[in-house]
Chain A
Amino acid sequence: MRSVAVAQLSDMPTVSVKRELLFQALGRRYTDEEVDELCFEFGLELDEITSEKDIISKEQGDGKAESASDIILYKIDVPANRYDLLCLEGLVRGLQVFKERIKAPRYKRIMPANSDVQRLIITEETAQVRPHAVAAVLRNITFSKDRYDSFIDLQEKLHQNICRKRALVAIGTHDLDTISGPFTYTARPPSEIRFKPLNQSKEYTASEIMDLYRTDSQLKHYLHIIENKPLYPVIYDSNGVVLSMPPIINGDHTKISLNTRNVFVECTATDITKAKIVLDILVTMFSEYCEKQFTVEAAEVTYHNGKTCIYPELAYRREKVKPDLMNKKIGISETPSSLAKLLTRMCLKSHVTGNGNSIEIEIPPTRADIIHACDIIEDAAIAYGYNNIQMTIPKTYTIANQFPLNKLTELLRQDLAAAGFTEALTFALCSQEDIADKLGVDISSTKAVHIANPKTAEFQVARTSLLPGLLKTIAANRKMPLPLKLFEISDIVVKDSTKDVGARNQRNLCAIYYNKNPGFEVIHGLLDRVMQLLAVPPSKESGYLIKAADDSAFFPGRCAEILAKGQSIGKLGVLHPDVITKFELTMPCSALEINIEPFL
């Protein structure tokens, strides 16, 4: 599971809302514990209770925070697929419906008289760079400072998540009263695009704009999306006013303010499905503040081939799920009507049909995450309360088996420790230098797999030997009393063209002896002991033997190859002084490394 308990970088977006605004919207006050509990039930996580002042003083020190606001903020983690909970408006709506204080609103698209509909025409040139666009109008909206901030913040949250940092979808919102349609979405050479970007004081060409934002902490991350394209996407009104140059920046001319009454929303995209979802989310959330609440004025989008679409879709889809199936999947036995009620609390308006054999569920445009009956069943389970479900033990009868290679590994580990060697656990990834230069080998002669995008040299390759890891372990523990006797049984990785992925793991055993004397006899004795444990006798025919060999990692004349099961399984010997020095060690050292897979 991706976000396993370690919570390694959770994929969850975090929404911060002002506590007072939340309580105001919920119509009552809660203690912090009650909010935490409510969030938990609903699948959210109250991550942190803080304030702007706290945040700034944590990041930049107390001095800078003095003038910042100390209004209490809740930072709430929202599941990555619930775009409808990414702003205060949606969060409150979801919780109020969940608590049955309000009914889920019904979102409606309104067609203006034909001549009044806003039109967006997509030209052929966009095909190579960003081929899709959708649009809508929020008519007679009333902003306040908080509403406006939330509107901007939601766009940013959508950009970071479903829009994949604007690569898939970019949103532009404009004061409709400053422009006149029809609008044209086209693509032009950067030198031919010229406008005053948002919050700038003068006009620039598109190329200049790219240079301007190269150092901008936010916008620099989006430049690569179009930078190397011959044509840049751009939207004009009928008078040639630039609305935006997606996915980089809007024009200053159409900037919305607290006084804006009519908002033209456009989303340009490489993924039309996601563009529709993003538009639906943005307009359903903020149509709450329109004169006709929860209504959105349609816009018409025409492709160059003449295909015309009306947006936003605001589609309500119906699904039927059998109550039996729901009960069976969750492990509860609720009546159909009670299941329908549970679903309705999750903004999925439901009713019982067909003599109680079926529940019909209406999926609103805000719930793009519902793509299968299992999503509906999950919502029923959440509304029922996960912690109210009776725990049961499945009757599944199975006989357990160990993976033979791991079983052998477990047994050998025990006996190597009993033989006086201590177990190390080293990284599977390392630098090229570790497995090649430091062992006196050329990297091209190894069968190492190479990583394309390492952030540092530590992750250039997967190890082809356990030896470097053990040598580094000794180097990090030089203060410990001598001798140091270490071992590791773990996987190395080598290229193998017979495998579907072109590489395979190999289970190796490596041991090392570090002391004032090389102690070849100690390592040799360990090999004899390992063979004894594996019931392989010292013999030429059916057992094991060692014979002199050359290896750049070992001191000449002090290295032998180990042959067993009719094949070479590894080497042992006294390490080459160059190797010892390169791993920053100062004592003689002998080592052994073998492949244990032939002994399965």
Chain B
Amino acid sequence: MSPAMATDGPALAERLLQQLERAGGGGLGSLEAAAALGLEHQQLVGAVKSLQALGEVIEAEQRSSKRWELTPEGKEIVQEGSHEARVFDSIPAEGLPQSELMKLPSGKVGFSKAMSNKWVRLDKNADGGPRIFRAVESVRDAVREKLQLVQQGEAESLEEKDRNELKKRKLLMEVIIKTYWIRKGSAFSTTVTKQETDLTPEMLASGSWRDLKFKAYNFEALGIMPESGHLHPLLKVRTQFRQIFLEMGFTEMPANNFIESSFWNFDALFQPQQHPARDQHDTFFLQDPAEATDFPMDYLKRVKKIHSQGGYGSQGYKYDWKLEEARKNILRTHTTAVSARMLYRLAQQEKFTPAKYFSIDRVFRNETLDATHLAEFHQIEGVVADYGLTLGDLMGTLREFFTKLGISQLRFKPAYNPYTEPSMEVFSYHQGLQKWVEVGNSGIFRPEMLLPMGLPEGVSVIAWGLSLERPTMIKYGINNIRELVGHKVNLQMVYDGPLCRLDV
């Protein structure tokens, strides 16, 4: 095959390079290059792309240009003349019945145009029905002439209103074509050498890599993801919270007891037996094992007394405290039950030593479920027990804790909790929502809770809690909690999740 005829890859690319050599330093446009080489523009673009892949052989700058082209109907008119001209030509000197004229391919369109051009006339009263006659000797087919100009690439010489008229008649269309302006590259050569895809051990052994050309990499494509397992986002956040507590010197409480007695979950916390939280609607009670059997009885008696009669400077709740209510087993509703056990244990030490505790574990609520609430979720809790702790200490501790979470703007609101007094809700300013949102709940445990345990009088215990799910949902932008927790999790989300860095 002679080079002039070559349209396949390398040969075509070389023809383009030769053309570029002839064009000199200014370069050339892909449209004119295609015309000069007698190729379809698309074929030339293919050659440009294959040359680009070789590296610096050519430089190609993409441009887009508008061009007027003929529609298929427009091309037909260039060949055969306009419809109106064809109508004119088909009428003999003696005229033609209108009905016959209308049967011609260009009849309908051509007739009305020819009428408005006043090339033909209609005699309605002729013998044998309406008849069409030529109205002039000869005509000049301007439409065809204009379209011929467009075909010759001279659309710009037409007046805009003519172009628009032809466009409206669907004879012309404006197309946008992507073209290239091609220049010589720094490694320009008129011949194309074969390129290696990648290094091989043989090339290394022989040293041939020194003389070979390598195909350029496409750095815009993505790589192949490494095969790996992934940690669950909620538990990644849990790890970070554990880390924060450990950094702050807090010891982890054993919270691996989902089943708790009402005694430790409520009574020990001075939560009265008629409290709504102890209702069937809010708490999961157990059918089997229905009751707890073993309690520290001295302590239990003190708890009973503080509820029913008061003491330690308290009025108490003055109601009939019942052991059977305290015995009822439940799924713990908060990890504060674990804190109560730990504080009781702390109080049993011969000499009190200060303590800082934390836990992050599951709690259960028999509540109505929706997009942000499940029957089980994770609670984060921190507790500090020492002599002379103040409300200011609680706020200071919270400030340090939340700073580590990347939350700096805090505000405290008075609140009510049955087992803390004072109690404060913690709010932080959410930049996205442009408002203060609740981020935690806190307080100082009531003396009615601590003193029956046997903790010394001057010891205060500050505590705070929040959920693990909420900060996680905010962190990872999850709206439906079921996509995060439970079996309906979206595994793709787990695969794609970023590191958990709470403070950035």
Contacts and interface: CB of A to CB of B under 8 A. Distances in A.
Interface in A396-419: 396-403, 405-406, 410, 413-414, 416-419
Contacts of B104: none
Contacts of B373: 6, 8-9
A378 B414 contact: yes
Interface string A346-369: 000000000000000000000000
B470 A462 contact: no
A422 B494 contact: yes
B258 A491 contact: yes
A254 B106 CA distance: 98
A371 B354 contact: no
B251 interface: yes
Interface string B391-412: 1110111011000000000011
Given A271-B274, A449-B286, A452-B286, A378 B421 contact: yes
A511 to B, nearest CB: 10
Given A2-B417, A454-B284, A417 B229 contact: yes
Contacts of B423: 378
Contact of B295 (A396, A475, A500): A500
Interface stretch (A86-94, A381-389, A536-544, A548-556): A381-389
Given A79-B416, A485-B229, A394 B386 contact: yes
A433 interface: no
Contacts of B287: 450-452
Given A4-B379, A330-B391, A399 B249 contact: yes
Given A1-B443, A450-B286, A429 B329 contact: no
A6 B487 contact: no
Contact of B334 (A2, A371, A421): A2
Interface string B257-285: 11111000000000100101100101011
B377 A424 contact: no
A375 interface: yes
Contacts of A389: 391-392, 395
Contact of A5 (B246, B396, B467): B467
B495 A422 contact: yes
Interface string A306-323: 000000000000000000
A3 B417 contact: yes
B354 A273 contact: no
Interface stretch (B91-99, B197-205, B444-452): B444-452
A394 B460 CA distance: 11
A396 B231 contact: no
Nearest to B315: A371
B416 A400 contact: no
Contact of A453 (B284, B392, B464): B284
A81 interface: yes
Contacts of B331: 429, 451, 462
B259 A429 contact: no
Interface in A145-178: 161, 164, 167-168
A110 interface: no
A168 B234 CA distance: 42
B258 A462 contact: yes
Given A405-B256, A429-B376, A453-B284, A398 B354 contact: yes
Contacts of A418: 228-229
Interface string A121-140: 00000000000000000000
A1 B376 contact: no
A476 B277 contact: no
B421 A374 contact: yes
A509 B503 CA distance: 31
B452 to A, nearest CB: 13
Interface in B462-489: 462-467, 469-470, 485-489
Nearest to B318: A273
B440 A5 contact: yes
Interface stretch (A20-28, A39-47, A206-214, A291-299): A39-47
B324 to A, nearest CB: 14
Contacts of A390: 392
Nearest to B310: A371
Given A164-B276, A328-B390, A449-B286, A402 B421 contact: no
Contacts of A113: none
Contacts of B494: 422-423
Contact of B441 (A1, A80, A271, A452): A1
Given A378-B414, A401-B252, A417-B231, A330 B390 contact: yes
A329 interface: yes
A495 B465 CA distance: 29
B487 A426 contact: yes
A139 to B, nearest CB: 29
B350 interface: no
Interface in A243-299: 271, 273-274
Interface stretch (B43-51, B129-137, B170-178, B363-371): B363-371
A420 B293 CA distance: 45
Interface string B228-244: 11111011000100100
B105 interface: no
A377 interface: yes
A8 B470 CA distance: 11
Contacts of A472: 487
A373 B336 CA distance: 23
A535 interface: no
Nearest to A418: B229
B289 interface: yes
Nearest to A393: B396
Contact of A392 (B261, B288, B365, B393): B393
B86 interface: no
A372 B492 CA distance: 54
A12 B491 CA distance: 37
Contacts of A428: 258, 362, 364, 376
B487 A410 contact: no
A330 B392 contact: yes
A406 B362 CA distance: 13
A423 B448 CA distance: 43
Contacts of B299: none
A391 B293 contact: no
B391 A381 contact: yes
A491 B255 CA distance: 10
B316 interface: yes
A3 B414 contact: no
A202 interface: no
A331 B292 contact: no
A414 to B, nearest CB: 7
B213 to A, nearest CB: 37
B290 A500 contact: no
Contact of A501 (B292, B319, B393, B415): B292
A427 interface: yes
Interface string A13-57: 000000000000000000000000000111101000000000000
Nearest to A363: B315
Interface string B350-386: 0000111000001011111000111111010100101
A429 B367 CA distance: 14
Interface string A335-346: 000000000000
A493 interface: yes
Contacts of A81: 416, 418
27 contacts: A1-B417, A5-B426, A5-B441, A5-B466, A43-B414, A80-B416, A377-B421, A378-B421, A394-B384, A394-B389, A396-B356, A398-B356, A400-B245, A402-B252, A410-B239, A417-B229, A417-B231, A423-B230, A425-B235, A449-B286, A459-B375, A470-B487, A476-B487, A476-B488, A491-B258, A502-B289, A507-B256
Given A6-B467, A386-B413, A419-B229, 12 more contacts: A1-B463, A5-B438, A397-B249, A402-B242, A417-B228, A424-B487, A428-B364, A452-B286, A455-B366, A476-B488, A493-B258, A505-B257
10 A-B pairs closest in CB distance: A331-B392, A43-B414, A331-B390, A502-B289, A79-B416, A472-B487, A378-B422, A1-B465, A452-B287, A500-B294
